[in-house]
Amino acid sequence: MKRKTLTQYLVEQQRQADGLGAEVRLLIEVVARACKSIGHAVGKGALGGVLGSLDSENVQGEVQKKLDVLSNEILLEANEWGGHLAAMASEEMETIHAIPNRYPKGEYLLLFDPLDGSSNIDVNVSIGTIFSVLKAPTHVAGAPVTEADFLQEGSRQVAAGYAVYGPQTMLVLTVGKGVVGFTLDREMGSWVLTHENIRIPEDTREFAINMSNMRHWAPPVRRYIDECLAGATGTRGKDFNMRWIASMVADVHRILTRGGIFMYPWDAREPGKPGKLRLMYEANPMSFIVEQAGGAAVDGVNRILDIKPGQLHQRVGVVLGSRNEVERVAQYHREAG
């Protein structure tokens, strides 16, 4: 059977009545090409000299791994010159990266977490790249793009996706018309459509949370997990399984494949912080994908895609996955007031 490539899929999306804009199509292709390069570097590991940490810290105060920085550079370089973007923003950069004057500028904004799941790099466990595309607000001609232009609700994303570098390298994408998955054909170097119309089952028996934080959780989270742990003889009347990869990309990928709930909720470790994960380039793109696959995503109570960001690197609690389970967690939060 002849399968579609990413290019063919995107061209088809463009040809539809309310089709994808040509700029978005091309910029997704560029991001996908950059992910191929990142996947190649990941695959080389110690042979490519890409493992280990640098002396530097990113804006979040996290020690940067060599691959964090390399992946960021690959994405910047690939996307700078294409003419589709007004600016970019990344987990690894304090503020936005405007397109240099030597290149033409486009209408879109690209945000990314270049290498998600950094703690898994050196131990050869799946990691990924997450990206989100927004339309730049229209400016008076010539006005520079500012950070404020990026602070749009996730519901305004034009496209979002992730690449997962695992046993297979895959690209999962939404342009607002469902979710599709492409597998990298390493011999041909092309992304091939292997997963059409990905749907998350509404119910599940599998949860993902870092249990070592249990003592810091809010009561509604504790209640939900306690009930899962109680199993078939408890109020839920069924046994639950647990998984925690510590790469959001890989955990979300599992949920898209066989259902489940992923939680990185607010906890009391750092009371001033609303969560660990970042809203604009982790939670928003993943929430867009999960909703497009029939799942749900909340910060505990509120729909993540409705949150108006106040800052580029804003953090947020994340509960996403199978719709009925996410709704249950939100209900427990509402009951707790």
Q: How far is the CB of 244 from ligand AHM (least distance, A)?
A: 7
Residue 258 has a CB neighbour count (10 Å cut-off) of 11
With respect to Mg ion, which residue has the nearer C-beta, 113 or 251?
A: 113
Q: What sign does the dihedral 248-251-254-256 (CA atoms) show? A: negative
CB burial readout 180-191, b (16+ within 10 A) else e: bbbbbeeeeebb
Kindly determine how many residues on this chain lie close enough to bind Mg ion according to the rule CB under 5 A: 2
Which CA distances in Å does 114 have to 127, 223, 264, 303?
10, 34, 19, 25
119 labeled binding residue: yes
In degrees, rounded to 5, the angle at the alpha carbon of residue 80 between the alpha carbons of residues 41 and 184 is 35
With respect to ligand AHM, which residue has the nearer C-beta, 56 or 210?
A: 210
Q: Measured at CB, which residue is nearest to Mg ion?
A: 116
With respect to ligand AHM, which residue has the nearer C-beta, 62 or 147?
A: 62
Interface stretch with Mg ion, choices 37-45, 75-83, 116-124, 286-294 (CB under 5 A) = 116-124
116 is a contact residue toward Mg ion (CB under 5 A) = yes
With respect to ligand AHM, which residue has the nearer C-beta, 151 or 246?
A: 246
CB burial readout 317-333, b (16+ within 10 A) else e: bbbbbbbebbebbbebb
Q: How far is the CB of 110 from Mg ion (least distance, A)?
A: 16
With respect to ligand AHM, which residue has the nearer C-beta, 77 or 270?
A: 270
Site for ligand AHM in 61-120 (CB under 6 A): 62, 91, 113, 116-119
23 is a contact residue toward Mg ion (CB under 5 A) = no
Which CA distances in Å does 73 have to 69, 76, 81, 155, 307?
6, 5, 13, 28, 29
113 is a contact residue toward Mg ion (CB under 5 A) = yes
Interface stretch with ligand AHM, choices 46-54, 101-109, 243-251, 327-335 (CB under 6 A) = 243-251
20 labeled binding residue: no
Q: Can you say how many angstroms the Cα of residue 271 is from the centroid of all Cα atoms in its chain?
A: 24
List the alpha helices (DSSP H) in the chain.
Answer: 6-15, 22-44, 66-80, 219-230, 248-258, 284-292, 323-336
Q: How far is the CB of 236 from ligand AHM (least distance, A)?
A: 24
Residues in binding site for Mg(2+): 91, 113, 115-116, 282
